[in-house]
Structure 1
Amino acid sequence: MDATALESGFGAGTNLLKKFVRLARGADTLTVAEKVYSIAAFLAIVTTFLLVMSVQSVRLQTTYRHMHASSAAAAIGVGRINALIYAIVMDSRGIYMSADRSAAKQFADGLVRRNRELAEALKSMEKNVGKDDAELFAGFRQRIIQFIDFRQELVRRGVEISPAAAREWGDNDANRSVRSKLNSDIEALERIYQQRAREADELADDNRYAAAYLFALGLAALMLAALNVVVMRSSVVGALAEITQATDRIAQGDVKSEVPHFGRHDEIGRLARAVQNFRDAVARIFELEELELGTAQARDAAMTERDKFNDKYQAKKWQLSAAINSMPQGLIMLDGKANVVAMNSNYRRIYNLPETIQAGSTLEEILQHRVKSGLFDGDVAKYLAAVLGRIARREPTVYEISLNDGRTIKIYERPMDGGGWVSVQEDVTEQRQRERILERMERFLATIIENVAEGIIAKDARNLRYVFVNKAAEKMIGMTRGEIIGKTARELFSAEAAELIERRDQQLLAQKQQLEPIVDTIDNPARGRRVICARRIQVGSASEESHMFVTMVEDRTETAAAA
């Protein structure tokens, strides 16, 4: 029995392959069902690959974020520990060089405080320890503890005995050996965290390739869907419309008109031949029942109207189904009692709904399935009552929910005419992740600019008004940013200083960039005559709204006075 079924399936596949070969040579021998099923099969294959690549892309992205965050946090922790060790060594030298215990007290207090900060930094760094650096970190942690205990004893001797006793305790080969080993541990940890960062970059490259594959697969799926529409329109809808017109003509008494698509070998051809047989039958009826012509015409007209209505109904139903299933968002329509009227495939995909839930099911069944699959942990009855309340009030709503698997879904709810309800739902997880990354990067850049020692000043190139100054620039100018931003140089400085600043702006506009430092002497209304060194760059061009001049300023008045 199995051998017979296998042979039958092999024969059917061979016949289908031969039909494809004849189709490639210009002979259309495929049936409509074979065309549609073939395209659907290719589309299913492409969709499967698309799903696999999507899962792979999400996995790569998650791994990349974890590795990048852990390596960055660990690198920052190593830098902080190194800086604290250096600061503790400097405070120790201050104790050594103090003349008496009271002079050593201020250095001892700073050393004790930094010892506590070092212990806290070590504890914070333990959170990012992985398998590759666990053994090295254990030795590093032990040496840090020894280093802290050693410095605590040094403080005690310097404060309770004398600075000389502290120097005798701390300035020796054993202390220098511990410091040297700590430096070696820090370098080794930095190499490990640099390797993690490189691995994270490699994962980012893999993710870009996965995104390219996803784009190609999506494009292929779109082309197959378009091909399916073209095939349906050319092979089915258009042909049915022509045959329907021929049927209408026959029903109107034109029994001599030709029926289109008579020579096709598929279902449309069989339908055309059936219509031709119908035409011949109508002709014979006209010949045999001339006395009952009125009744026959009425019957034919009724049949024609019925066929037209049925065709229109099927066409509208197909168009609606194609429209909602081609939406990139999930869609569900409910009636006034929260029964499902329609839903598309994307809504099913968002909540992993089984095929048993179809139009006619209830919203409560969907929520119960979400509870079983772990995508809903609220009170089903309360949630259902809230939805029914919004339906009754015809109250449009937009809100977001977070699923237990980490996805974020944005939901738009609107009332429909007749008391129904439609909900469009969109997976915005990736969008929210990008927004959080962008916000974190903006805070990072703002912190760096605010804390650099060099003054940074930005002005709008179109009206030469100041739009930004950092803390260092406020200190150099002697004014707050509230007094500076929104004003021009002529509103802040003397006429001579303003003229010099505007001349430098015109030079920058002509040179595009001015990276070589220029030293000028300017009368500062708050701080007097100052010697400044400035470098200037342009951001954007004159045709852009973001066209700005950025000046990096260094106050060299004290240096010039010393010279």
Structure 2
Amino acid sequence: MNAAAPGSRLEAASRLVKKFARFARGTDTLSVAEKVYSIAGFLAIVTTFLLVMSIQTVRLQTTYRHMYASSAEAAINVGRINALIYAVVMESRGIYMSADRSAMKPFADGLVRRNRELAEAVKGLERTVDYDDAEQVSSFRQRIAQFIDFRQELVRRGLEISPAAAREWGDNDANRTLRAKLNGDLEALVRIYGQRAREADDLADSNRYAAAYLFVLGLASLVLAGLNVVVMRRSVVGALAEITLATDRIADGDVRSKVPHLGRNDEIGRLARAVQHFRDAVARIFELEELELGTAQARDAAMTERDKFNDKYQAKKWQLSAAINSMPQGLIMLDGKANVVAMNGNYRQMYNLPETIQSGSTLGEILQHRVKSGLYSGDIATYLAAVLARIAKREPAAYEITLNDGRTIRIHERPMDGGGWVSVQEDVTEQRQRQRILERMERFLATIIENVTEGIIAKDARNQRYVFVNRAAEQMIGMSRGEIIGKTARELFSPDAAELIERRDQQLLAQKQQLEPILDTIDNPTRGRRVISARRIQVGGAGEESHMFVTMIEDRTGKIEAVAA
């Protein structure tokens, strides 16, 4: 039994894959539920990747800041240690060259002070050391200790004995060997922290790639959300409205009208075939009524036959009810007086309706239950009057409501022939939450772009017209975005400046990206001759609707004038 279960699951998975393959070739073999669940599954996968990439971006940024800060601090400490060692050596030479103790005393005091500073600098270096560098720094610390002790002894001999004794102690091969080893240690530390800085730069590059992935995943989420709306509109709401109209025509006696969507293989197709069976049963009943026989025997036979078809009619009616209940949305049908004609299980579950509310109940009873359960707090009479007014006007409507428990319900209403009304309702709480998240992210990005100090200008690569200018760029150019957007460089700048801008655009088109800044001198029509630093990137590519050139500008005129002065 356990062995059969995996085999059955494998077989079901194989059937599902084959369905998707046929669907990809243009054959609509998927049910509405499979379409909706597939899109929701892909959206969940993209959202998961979006979350993972967000966490990865934060982790890379944190690691980059830590590596860059520690490398910079260590490099500063290494430079300070090197300078202090040089200062100690210079003070030692002062001691060597002194003729007596009084002349040597200032150099000795300076050497002792520099020794203390050197010891503190080594302690500062140890605070930035990683585990991998501990052995290297430990060896360096021992040599520094030897160096300090050697210089302390040099001072002692000079003060207590004589400058000649100090010179004899310091001017030897051992001192020079120790100094050479210290120089080697410093060079090794410089190489180590130089490598760390390059690793931090590599992390910064990885973080830029992660940002690009986040953009692509966010775009995929938007596409899937839009696809979900299109599928629901085309596969469910529109099809149900057409089937409802066909049902109304049958109810009015038009048993020759065609039932749409019979060829579909999903729940809508099963509903359409159930309506067709219902139409056939009603047509047969009409035929029996027209074939009234003149004799009692003939009437009895006709009544018997009619009873049989009534049974079939009830069976088909049950099939229609089962098809309605298989819909993933909530559905309720009302007559012209807002009495319930039919409702499915999803509608009952959506509002937690009791068993006492069935077909034949009124919409007012449903609203009273919603008030008691806390889902609705409005005026029942006003709500009923609005519904009856829409039924009387026979105007379709689509709107959303928010229940008191926080859920958002999307409602599509369509009139039925004969004064009826059908309402398809769907819980879209999660979709709205995702939309709000995307809207907050868009506002966040727009705020950042508007408040950076660097000017940002975007133009359509196809017609060379400007499509976006941030606040900083407005100030640099001296024009409002209303004066800039929609125009080309030749409409805004002098011929020479416009020709330079177009030449830079052609260079960008050839090399894809231009991340290194280029200095150009531009004749600004409002601010005069300006020196600007510009970096340029492409968004999209040739043949794409979203192909744009984005330029990041910094006005260097003031800095260059200050340097020249």
TM bucket (normalised to shorter chain) is 0.5 to 0.7
Structure-to-structure mapping, 1:209-220, within 5 angstroms? 209-220=209-220
Verify the 8 A CA contact 1:43 1:224 in the aligned structure 2: yes
Matched, 1:62 2:75: no
Q: SS where residue 315 of structure 1 aligns?
A: strand
1:137 alignment partner AA: V
* Counterparts in 2 of 1:153 and 1:262: CA distance versus 1, 3 Å: same
Distance in 1 of aligned mates of 2:476 and 2:219: 43
* Counterparts in 2 of 1:321 and 1:243: CA distance versus 1, 3 Å: farther
Distance in 2 of aligned mates of 1:161 and 1:122: 30
2:153 alignment partner AA: E
Matched, 1:328 2:437: yes
TM-score (norm 2): 0.53
State the Cα distance separating 1:321 from its structure 2 match.
Answer: 3.9
Verify the 8 A CA contact 1:251 1:301 in the aligned structure 2: no
Superposed CA offset, 1:524-557 (max 9, x none):
xxxxxxxxxxxxx94459x9893524246699xx
Superposed CA offset, 1:317-365 (max 9, x none):
53444212333279xxxxxxxxxxxxxxxxxxxxxxxxxxxxxxxxxxx
Greater CA drift, 13-22 or 299-308: 299-308
State the Cα distance separating 1:85 from its structure 2 match.
Answer: 0.6
* Counterparts in 2 of 1:538 and 1:98: CA distance versus 1, 3 Å: farther
Superposed CA offset, 1:415-444 (max 9, x none):
xxxxxxxxx999x9xx99xx9xx9xxxxxx
Superposed CA offset, 1:60-91 (max 9, x none):
44333333322222222111100111111112
Distance in 2 of aligned mates of 1:34 and 1:201: 46
* 1:149 alignment partner in structure 2: 149
Structure-to-structure mapping, 1:1-20, within 5 angstroms? 1-20=1-20
* 2:555 alignment partner in structure 1: 546
TM-score (norm 1): 0.53
Q: What are the ranges of 5 or more consecutive residues in structure 1 without an aligned counterpart?
A: 290-297, 331-423, 439-459, 464-509, 514-536, 556-563
Superposed CA offset, 1:284-321 (max 9, x none):
899999xxxxxxxx984347776699697753453444
* 1:32 alignment partner in structure 2: 32
Superposed CA offset, 1:268-299 (max 9, x none):
1222334455566778899999xxxxxxxx98
* 2:385 alignment partner in structure 1: none
Residue from 301, 305, 311 that aligns with 2:336: 301
* Counterparts in 2 of 1:90 and 1:539: CA distance versus 1, 3 Å: farther
* 2:544 alignment partner in structure 1: none
1:31 alignment partner AA: S
Q: SS where residue 301 of structure 1 aligns?
A: coil
State the Cα distance separating 1:105 from its structure 2 match.
Answer: 2.7
Distance in 1 of aligned mates of 2:410 and 2:269: 20
* Counterparts in 2 of 1:320 and 1:243: CA distance versus 1, 3 Å: farther
Q: What are the ranges of 5 or more consecutive residues in structure 2 without an aligned counterpart?
A: 290-332, 348-397, 402-408, 412-425, 454-474, 479-518, 523-529, 535-551
* Counterparts in 2 of 1:140 and 1:15: CA distance versus 1, 3 Å: closer
Count of residue pairs brought into register by the alignment: 357
Superposed CA offset, 1:351-404 (max 9, x none):
xxxxxxxxxxxxxxxxxxxxxxxxxxxxxxxxxxxxxxxxxxxxxxxxxxxxxx
Verify the 8 A CA contact 1:251 1:304 in the aligned structure 2: no
Superposed CA offset, 1:115-161 (max 9, x none):
11111111111112223322221121011112112222323333444
Cα RMSD, aligned residues only: 4.5
Q: SS where residue 132 of structure 1 aligns?
A: helix
Verify the 8 A CA contact 2:532 2:557 in the aligned structure 1: yes
Distance in 2 of aligned mates of 1:224 and 1:58: 26
Verify the 8 A CA contact 2:532 2:553 in the aligned structure 1: no
State the Cα distance separating 1:17 from its structure 2 match.
Answer: 3.0
* 2:375 alignment partner in structure 1: none
* 1:179 alignment partner in structure 2: 179
Distance in 1 of aligned mates of 2:205 and 2:128: 24
* Counterparts in 2 of 1:242 and 1:105: CA distance versus 1, 3 Å: farther
Distance in 1 of aligned mates of 2:202 and 2:141: 30
Verify the 8 A CA contact 1:540 1:548 in the aligned structure 2: no
* 2:195 alignment partner in structure 1: 195
Distance in 2 of aligned mates of 1:188 and 1:39: 57
Matched, 1:315 2:410: yes
* 1:344 alignment partner in structure 2: none
State the Cα distance separating 1:198 from its structure 2 match.
Answer: 2.8
1:315 alignment partner AA: R
Distance in 2 of aligned mates of 1:299 and 1:46: 40
* 1:263 alignment partner in structure 2: 263
Greater CA drift, 301-310 or 146-155: 301-310
Verify the 8 A CA contact 1:92 1:111 in the aligned structure 2: yes
Distance in 2 of aligned mates of 1:46 and 1:24: 21
2:106 alignment partner AA: Q
